[in-house]
């Protein structure tokens, strides 16, 4: 199935892109996607363990199962204000 | 609604007091000329816009539940900011001063903790880096 | 110097940030339309002027010792104030937000505790009384 | 000796004046003056025990000995801000 992945701040610098459409296996969890991404782009691991993730613009945990059309983002440490 | 790429005029935000309000506490986060001992020339603020709007909305709703008499305004700027520019503005109007301080402080602390906004410090020599507050002291 | 009988323009006080300041916390005490369940029409503020100036001066010096990086401005109005008028204004500029909140809060708390200023609430029916905060809740 | 006494807020309402010049015995303390005043004007006692006192525009305690020319004020509960 297809998801849309967004990259921000350091993660955009590492990936070289703002966003991408991506195929993931049915039943994939957020943590599975993170493992896949860091396999391709070890530079994402600079922030340490899995960063906070958002699915469809809401914070969610690593065990959330992804669905077709989800908008997914892993969020580097936020620094607003 | 909460995010803007236009300059924030701190002064104009203060005018919205209700006649029942006795205390107004505000906090303005301003771009300063240094960070962790290095000079700063300007700061680029980037956001995950729709999620940042939603997260600030949840924070404002939470504050309204905790301090029902207190009215809280939030504005956060994104884009390229110069030294002295207001990056974030919070204004909390309340019948009483303790509540205005508490709600204002909670607002900025929660915004900094959870709203997906990032900043890239640009130094006078043209180099830059993303700020990682988790590697710094909590008061910064 | 700290006391004034002219209207306080909250907005104009915020402009004095230094380039090293990253946080500005302000508190404005505003005349509200009620007090202890009764309607207020206006409030007359009276001071022991020279002593009030001296006491605020001591408070500002104390804040500068406790928060050396933080700059604090205080203005207190005296005379006849209408609903919505700013009675007291505190602005605290600091490199860091925690200090700006702490110094601002300490300033208003200490001013309310020791500066010889009194207020007489005037009700819509023309009656009035001096406010005695020692008989009220501390958050008021 | 002579002192100058100032009245504010409720104390001005009770005394009916802003200030007065007053003769006090040499060696009088702040607390002696308060006792004398409340003897003349029991309405001052509405605030309870002796209120904070200022001599020459500084807070001072009840045992401070007054001097010629002192400016003295008893202060009703303050309510600035």
Query: Residue B128 burial (CB < 10 Å; 0-12/13-18/19+)?
Result: middle
Burial string for C19-40 (b: 16+ CB within 10 Å, else e) reads eebbbbbbbbbbbbbebeeeeb
Question: What sections of C37-80 are H helices per DSSP?
Answer: 49-66
**pLDDT of residue C16 exceeding 80:** no
Dmax of chain B from CA atoms?
51
Among B33, B98, B105, the residue with its CB nearest the CB of C139 is B98
Pair of tokens at residue C104: 């601002």
At C57 the three-state DSSP class reads helix
Q: What is the ipTM of this complex?
A: 0.91
Rounded (to 5) percent helix, strand, coil in chain B: 35, 35, 30
How far, in Å, CA of B72 to CA of B23, rounded?
A: 12
Q: Which of A70, A17, A79 is nearest to A47 (CA)?
A: A79
Contact B114 A59 (CB under 8 A): yes
At D66 the three-state DSSP class reads coil
Mean pLDDT to the nearest integer, D52-70: 98
Q: Which DSSP symbol is given to D68?
A: T
- Chains C, D: CB pairs < 8 Å: 71
The pTM of the full predicted model, rounded to 2 decimals, is: 0.92
- DSSP-assigned letters across all residues of B1-65: --EESSPP-HHHHGGG--TT--EEEEEEEE--SEETTEE-SEEEEEE-HHHHHHHHHHHHHHHHH
**Contact between residue B109 and residue B72 where contact means Cβ atoms under 8 Å apart:** no
Q: Which of B68, B74, B109 is nearest to B88 (CA)?
A: B74
For residue A20, the surrounding DSSP H or E stretch is strand A19-23
Q: pLDDT: is D62 or C17 the higher one?
A: D62
Count CB atoms within 10 A of the CB of residue D1: 14
Whole-number mean pLDDT of chain D?
Answer: 96
Which residues on chain B are in Cβ contact (under 8 Å) with C124?
A: none
How far, in Å, CA of C115 to CA of C85, rounded?
A: 20
pLDDT of res. B136? 65
Share of chain C above pLDDT 90, in %: 81
Question: Per this entry, what is the length of chain D?
Answer: 81
Chain B, 15 to 74: residues with Cβ < 8 Å from chain C are 17, 19-34
pLDDT of res. C83? 95
Mean pLDDT to the nearest integer, B35-62: 96
Evaluate whether chains D and A are touching (3 or more beta carbon pairs less than 8 Å apart): no
Measured between CA atoms, the residue of chain B closest to residue A79 is: B118
Question: What sections of chain C are H helices per DSSP?
Answer: 10-13, 49-66, 97-114
Mean pLDDT to the nearest integer, D4-25: 97
**pLDDT of residue B133 exceeding 90:** no
On the CB side of B50, CA atoms within 13 Å amount to 9
pLDDT of res. C136? 65
Torsion of CA A44, A50, A56, A57, to 10 degrees: -90
**Contact between residue C5 and residue C78 where contact means Cβ atoms under 8 Å apart:** yes
Q: C57 vs B40, B75, C90, C125, D23, CA distance in Å?
A: 34, 34, 13, 38, 32
Contact B23 C30 (CB under 8 A): yes
Structure-token match 């699915």, residue found: A55
pLDDT of res. C138? 44
How far, in Å, CA of D55 to CA of D28, rounded?
A: 13
Is C131 an interface residue toward B (CB < 8 Å)? no
Is D25 an interface residue toward C (CB < 8 Å)? no
B28-45 pLDDT tens trace:
999 999 998 899 999 999
Which residues on chain C are in Cβ contact (under 8 Å) with D54?
A: 48, 51, 116
**pLDDT of residue B138 exceeding 50:** no
How far, in Å, CA of A77 to CA of D16, rounded?
A: 66
Contact B10 C14 (CB under 8 A): yes
Mean pLDDT to the nearest integer, C20-38: 93
pLDDT of res. B66? 98
C58-107 pLDDT tens trace:
999 999 999 999 999 999 999 999 999 999 999 999 999 999 999 999 99
- Work out whether strand C23-30 and strand C86-94 pair parallel, antiparallel, or are unpaired: antiparallel
Mean pLDDT to the nearest integer, A4-23: 97
Mean pLDDT to the nearest integer, D43-63: 93
Q: pLDDT: is B105 or B138 the higher one?
A: B105
Q: pLDDT: is B17 or C110 the higher one?
A: C110
A26-52 pLDDT tens trace:
999 999 999 999 999 999 998 778 999
Residue B134: pLDDT band with limits 50, 70, 90: confident
Mean pLDDT to the nearest integer, B108-136: 93
Q: Which DSSP symbol is given to C23?
A: E
Among B111, B132, B135, the residue with its CB nearest the CB of A80 is B111
Residue B53: pLDDT band with limits 50, 70, 90: very high
**pLDDT of residue B107 exceeding 80:** yes
C62 phi, psi to nearest 5 deg: -60, -40
**pLDDT of residue C11 exceeding 90:** no
Q: pLDDT: is B123 or B12 the higher one?
A: B123
């Amino acid at each position: 199935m297809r998801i849309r992945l967004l990259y921000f701040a350091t993660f955009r610098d590492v990936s070289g892109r703002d966003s991408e459409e991506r195929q993931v296996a049915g039943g994939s969890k957020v943590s599975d996607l993170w493992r896949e991404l860091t396999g391709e782009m070890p530079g994402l691991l600079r922030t340490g363990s899995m960063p906070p993730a958002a699915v469809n613009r809401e914070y969610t945990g690593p065990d959330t199962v992804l669905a077709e059309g989800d908008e997914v983002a892993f969020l580097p440490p936020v620094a607003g204000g | 609604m909460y995010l803007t790429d236009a300059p924030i005029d701190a002064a104009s935000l203060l005018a919205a007091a209700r006649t029942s309000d006795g205390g107004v506490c505000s906090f303005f986060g301003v771009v300063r000329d240094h960070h962790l001992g290095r000079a700063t020339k300007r700061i680029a603020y980037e956001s995950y816009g729709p999620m940042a709007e939603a997260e600030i909305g949840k924070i404002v709703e939470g504050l309204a539940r905790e301090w029902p008499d207190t009215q809280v305004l939030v504005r956060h700027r994104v884009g390229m900011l110069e030294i002295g520019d207001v990056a974030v503005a919070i204004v909390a109007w309340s019948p009483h001063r303790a509540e205005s301080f508490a709600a204002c402080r909670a607002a900025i602390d929660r915004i900094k903790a959870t709203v997906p906004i990032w900043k890239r410090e640009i130094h006078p020599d043209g180099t830059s880096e993303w700020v990682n507050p988790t590697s710094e002291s909590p008061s910064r």
